[in-house]
Amino acid sequence: MPPCGWLLLLSLAALTGNTFCAITTSQTERNCSISPPYLPSTVINTTLRLQELRKRMLPLNISAYIIPGTDAHLSEYIAPRDARLTFMTGFTGSAGTAVVTQTKATLWTDSRYWVQAERQMDCNWELEKDVSISSIAEWLISEVPAGGEIGFDPFLFSLETYENYDINLGSSNHSLTSVPVNLVDQVWTDRPPILADGIISLPDRVIRGSPTWQMKVEQMRKMMEDSPYRPTALLLSALDETAWLFNMRGNDIPFNPFFYSYTLLTLDEIWLFIHTERLTGELKEYLNASCAGPLCVQLKSYDSVRAQLQEYVARPGIKVWIGTEYTNYALYELITPVDKLMTSSYSPVLTTKAVKDETEQRILRDAHVRDAVAVIQLLMWLEKVVPQATVNFGGPNTRGFETISASGANAALAHYSPTNESSRKLTVDEMYLVDSGGQYLDGTTDITRTVHWGTPTEMQREAFTRVLQGNIEISRTIFPSGTRGANMEMLGRRALWEVGLNYGHGTGHGVGNYFGVHEWPVGFQTNNIPFTSGMFTSIEPGYYKDNDFGIRIEDIAVIVPKPTKYGNNYLTFDIVSLVPYDRKLIDTSLLSMQQIQWLNKYYETIRTLVGPELDRQGLKEEKDWMLKNTEPFVPSGSSASIWSS
């Protein structure tokens, strides 16, 4: 019988009559239908800030104001000072949109966050259990009088977001009004400041052999010159684009080594928009910032990007190249008329960055060897302490993202991270899923292992083995260069589909070199670019049984050339995450001979690469644990002797 996790209790409390659980529920969520309303202590009182915001909407004549959850660079993870949605609503989930009118305030979020929203919002806010822009537009049409204007901060809208609202508002006689000054910032008096420092250039010792920023600038200029559309400038908006171009990193966003910036790169000038006071003399020298030639970086204030772009666009004969996926509407809307604009989904920086050069590949592989040691230490320690007593596990160290550490029913929420209210004790009776990542100067890592310290059920073993078959089937696939991940991802699901199981998330994403842990545009989804040699991607099938347990196995792979009997230019995956899978959960009778061979070869690689690092760090017990867990598998039903040679 699984213990009382919060998700569990919603569905089971009534059935089990577990009064402890039932009381917990009524105390943690707001109840706005009683008088006075019941508000748990996790709620923020938003009355005053809403009043202030509404006051600022009046002189602008906007009847509604849209508050998205992203930042001006359309980042996946945002800095605390960009958490405007959280400031206004109290809700801290990572996905949502809020809309405020003079009389109403509503938050839209998806099913992962409904419970959390009920715990964090006061009764000024209504919850709409949807995230689609069409649902928001429908609400706007019914709440805003005809002819009314709907305000939004264009820095927080992508081009696609804008078009989506525009289409959905359609012929309703409501207009979208771009308000390029953020109204939430005006009422957020204790908004966290810009960090004073934290910007660095990557040390030579780490990136020796990789292109310098000057070489990257020349490379981008060459791509501009080679384009038949003859762009005169490239505008970089996503934070990892500027960081990549200049081989620089920052610390503005938790777990993501980025700094606030934009770049306008023309054929003979380089404009870097940044909080210039944050740059040391050394960095200015590194950027050759004291001159105005084609290889001098001209520093411009971060906040002047709109004004400067407008000035550039006013010049005759110019054409600005943007990647539409990451350029905000505030910059896009300035590039008119349309013949001054050139678009691609992703900028040439993003498509170039997706393919790691030899140095990047080498150091990213190295980072994974050190990360394997850390994960092996964690798994060995847990294996030792959990059976003795129960461990209350919060979350550790320098991470690539918030560690997803979940056991039992919590792991059934694919992206659960522990909080004080929902954390559970680890026990030998259930599965444990740890999805962790590290940021190393040479690479970003991301790995998931699922383990069981007691006796797994038959169903758990079968599900785990079928998930593992998905990892192996993708990993051992040989495919022509240029194949899209979307055309291969069913290999990750096939063994699960055979018995009517599935999972509700993507099968993998790109990963950076000391960058974002989810690095677009690489991956297995339809809007990802085709695979070529040198790309890194995660491979991460899973299976989640509601209210019971969750399984995910995630490895990072580099795409490498594969000689074939007849064809040229074929590729395959080479796994660089180097941690063995829980043997107890593997049912070898389900595995094919090829799958067992693949697994044994992978385990040999772990021994070859991680063994010496464990020796170097003097980790004897961990070495033994690794060796024990990488024993070759013997195909069930066949003689052991074939494998002992």
Ligand X SMILES: *[C@@H]1O[C@H](CO)[C@@H](O)[C@H](O)[C@H]1NC(C)=O
Which residue has the closest beta carbon to ligand X?
A: 293
The reply to whether 617 sits near ligand X by the rule CB under 6 A is no
Of 422 and 630, the one with the shorter C-beta distance to ligand X is 422
CB of 625 to ligand X, least distance (A): 31
Which of 293, 387, 480, 612 touches ligand X (CB under 6 A)? 293
CB of 231 to ligand X, least distance (A): 22
Residue 633 contacts residue 600 (beta carbons within 8 Å): yes
**471 Rama class: left (phi>0) / alpha (psi -120 to 50) / beta:** alpha
Q: How many CA atoms lie within 13 A of 546 on its CB side?
A: 6
Q: How many residues are present in the chain?
A: 645
Residues 209-238 that bind ligand X (CB under 6 A): 214
Nearest Cα residue to 271 out of 198, 225, 320: 320
Which of 11, 27, 61, 336 touches ligand X (CB under 6 A)? 61
Segment contacting ligand X (CB under 6 A): 45-53, 84-92, 249-257, 271-279? 45-53
CB of 243 to ligand X, least distance (A): 19
Helix axes of 620-629 and 593-616: crossing angle, nearest 10 degrees: 170
63 membership: H or E segment, kind and range: strand 62-68
Query: What single letter denotes the amino acid at residue 62?
Result: I
The reply to whether 180 sits near ligand X by the rule CB under 6 A is no
In the numeric block, the tokens 């089937």 are attached to 473
Outline where 144-237 has alpha helix (H). 159-169, 183-187, 204-207, 213-226
Of 242 and 444, the one with the shorter C-beta distance to ligand X is 242
Residue 127 contacts residue 89 (beta carbons within 8 Å): no
Segment contacting ligand X (CB under 6 A): 43-51, 238-246, 436-444, 579-587? 43-51
The reply to whether 417 sits near ligand X by the rule CB under 6 A is no
CA 222 to chain CA centroid, Å, is 31
Name the DSSP class of 539. E
Beta bridge partners of 105: 100
The reply to whether 196 sits near ligand X by the rule CB under 6 A is no
Q: How many residues bind ligand X (CB under 6 A)?
A: 19
What tokens does 191 get? 């908004």
d(CA 573, CA 533): 9
The reply to whether 173 sits near ligand X by the rule CB under 6 A is yes
Of 242 and 361, the one with the shorter C-beta distance to ligand X is 242
The reply to whether 48 sits near ligand X by the rule CB under 6 A is yes
CB of 116 to ligand X, least distance (A): 13
Q: How many CA atoms lie within 13 A of 92 on its CB side?
A: 9
d(CA 241, CA 230): 21
The reply to whether 146 sits near ligand X by the rule CB under 6 A is yes
CB of 22 to ligand X, least distance (A): 11
The reply to whether 41 sits near ligand X by the rule CB under 6 A is no
CB of 295 to ligand X, least distance (A): 4
Outline where 238-332 has alpha helix (H). 239-245, 281-286, 305-314, 329-332
CB of 272 to ligand X, least distance (A): 14
- Contact residues for 494 (Cβ-Cβ < 8 A; gap 6+): 469, 470, 473
CA 379 to chain CA centroid, Å, is 24
CB of 54 to ligand X, least distance (A): 14
Which of 17, 147, 228, 504 touches ligand X (CB under 6 A)? 147
CB of 47 to ligand X, least distance (A): 4
Of 31 and 588, the one with the shorter C-beta distance to ligand X is 31
Which of 95, 295, 314, 560 touches ligand X (CB under 6 A)? 295
What tokens does 527 get? 């809007």
Nearest Cα residue to 453 out of 480, 425, 476: 425
CB of 120 to ligand X, least distance (A): 12
Of 274 and 364, the one with the shorter C-beta distance to ligand X is 274
Which of 17, 19, 33, 277 touches ligand X (CB under 6 A)? 33
Binding region for ligand X (CB under 6 A)? 31, 33-34, 39, 45, 47-48, 60-61, 146-147, 173, 214, 288, 291, 293, 295-296, 420
